[in-house]
Structure 1
Amino acid sequence: MDGGATPPVVSATPPEAAAFLLVGLLGGAHCLGMCGPLVSVYADRLSDRAGTESLTLVHVRQHALFNVGRALSYATIGALFALVGGLFFGAFDSLATIGSGVRATTGLLVGTAIILTGLGYLVGRSAALDRLTPAPVTRLFGRVSGWATARVDRLVGGPRILGLGAIHGLLPCPIIYPAYLYAFATGDPLRAAALLGLLGLGTIPTLFLYGTLLGQVSARRRAVLHRALGASFLVLGYIPLSHGLMLLGVSVPHLHVPFYQPLG
């Protein structure tokens, strides 16, 4: 075995996978606020090209490609965050005490951030979470969104609509960013890609139905889904938080979900 500390490859556990999929399923209602306008634009373009507003196989294919592009971008960016996390933790693993402390602190910070996000949704303050996005990020979102909207006609009719969906992985989102933090805490790119991919797949039903059939989701129903989303974030945030506490010697009930650990 070489002297460099590397994290063992750990597949996503059932509690993790269930939590990420649930966040995606419930978070689809929030995604309508960000992705909905762009979905409406390209859905209208598809209808114009097809010469009908009725659902056709072309509509289904293009909406599916758009959403697959989103899921792939989430998975790719999640893997990159995990790769950076693995390098970050590995830099401290030559000193066991410091390495353990860094991982504990990361678990506490990441878990707390995710839980606070969950509380924001749970108490109906999700709009306040959007306002926490730094102004430069908001401006960048405006530019990216404007660029995508201006090029919808070029992208909507063929496989390049995958790229239109992939752009969403870069947009500010209080659902995706906590998930990226979680990916960073795992330090395992493959595992993070699987988890973020699941989250992306979970959002597909709502956005797909919105783009093809529904057109809108009532504010009351969206509020109910937001509260349920908040509860699922509490569960997700507790996983790294409890891991951090355990590393500090604080015994708490916890799910058996491994986080970054060097090979001995």
Structure 2
Amino acid sequence: MSLDLFSAFVIGLLGSGHCIVMCGGISTMLTTAISNNLAQKKYVIVLGYHLGRIGSYSVIGALVAFTSSMAAKNIGIPIAFLKTIAGIFLILLGLYLGQWLMWLSRIERLGKGLWRHISPITKRFIPIKNLKSAVCLGALWGWLPCGLVYSTLTWALASADALNGALIMLFFGLGTLPALFTVSLGTLNVKALLSHSLFRQLAAILLLTYGIYTILIAY
């Protein structure tokens, strides 16, 4: 389990470049949405909506893992099979981050239907007037369709335990935190590094390798 948590954290860290491309604009927009009277508390507010986002990841991870645990118990789906699915998605994620095969973009479209219903609610919390509204806005943002999130959710699925699934997504979210937090505060040099093609391709190769390793270990 500790290896799964560490792996989830590393996946979030390596996938940060993708996070910046997909969500960097949102991060900047959320920062500019902070009310003027909260400018001195900007760091706390920014951290608040990122923690809200990570909280949503944990909830989704728990729901997915609970579903897979019921399937494993009632239908008899072997855990090795679920681990294999997780490995395959890691490979797809590596190909996606390296921009060599974009199949995960098709999976991202599956979440757009739900996001169409959630996105209008975000307007209720803009401009951000207090820490509570920042956390709520981040929690809604956590449901934004993302291939990186969906790939990591297969790890939660393979855990077949609600608590473990929540922890896996928690550590994944913490892995994405350094990049998105700094981008939210306007640190452009971090954005340039993580968005660089060399970093992205190195991360892609590491994820590809780990995906293959996961499949081998499953059997």
Give the TM-score normalised by structure 1.
0.71
2:150 aligned with 1:174, yes or no? no
* Pairing partner for 2:48 from 65, 73, 76: 65
3-state DSSP of counterpart to 2:130: coil
The reply to whether residue 107 of structure 1 matches residue 69 of structure 2 is no
Cα drift, residue 174 of structure 1: 1.2
Note closer, same or farther for the CA distance 1:153–1:109 as it changes in structure 2 (3 Å cut): closer
- Contact 2:125-2:136 within 8 A present in 1 as well: no
Query: Is residue 65–residue 162 contact of structure 2 (8 Å, CA) maintained in 1?
Result: yes
Q: Distance in 2 between matches of 1:109 and 1:64?
A: 33
Return closer, same or farther for 1:120/1:42 CA change in 2, 3 Å cut-off. Answer: closer
1:189 maps onto 2:189 in alignment: no
RMSD: 2.7
- Pair 1:176–1:88, CA change in 2 (3 A): same
Give the conservation status (yes or no) of the 8 Å contact 1:67–1:204: yes
Instruction: Please say which structure displays the higher CA radius of gyration.
Output: 1
Q: AA paired with 1:180?
A: L
| Aligned equivalent of 1:208 | 181
Q: 1:112 Cα deviation (Å)?
A: 1.4
Alignment of 1:45-194 (within 5 A): 45-46=33-34, 49-50=36-37, 56=40, 58-93=41-76, 99=77, 102-122=78-98, 124-125=99-100, 128-129=102-103, 131-133=105-107, 135=109, 137-142=111-116, 144-148=118-122, 150-194=123-167
- Report the counterpart of residue 35 of structure 1 in structure 2: 23
Q: Is the 2:44–2:131 contact (alpha carbons within 8 Å) kept by the matching residues of 1?
A: no
- Asked if the contact 1:74/1:169 (under 8 Å) is kept, the reply is yes
Shift of the 135–73 alpha-carbon distance from structure 1 to 2, 3 Å rule, reads closer
Give the paired residue count.
Answer: 218
Give the 3-state SS of the residue equivalent to 2:168 in structure 1: helix
For structure 2, list consecutive stretches of 5 or more residues without a partner in the other structure.
none
Among all aligned residue pairs of Structure 1 and Structure 2, give the percentage whose two residues are the same amino acid.
Answer: 22
1:38 partner amino acid: I
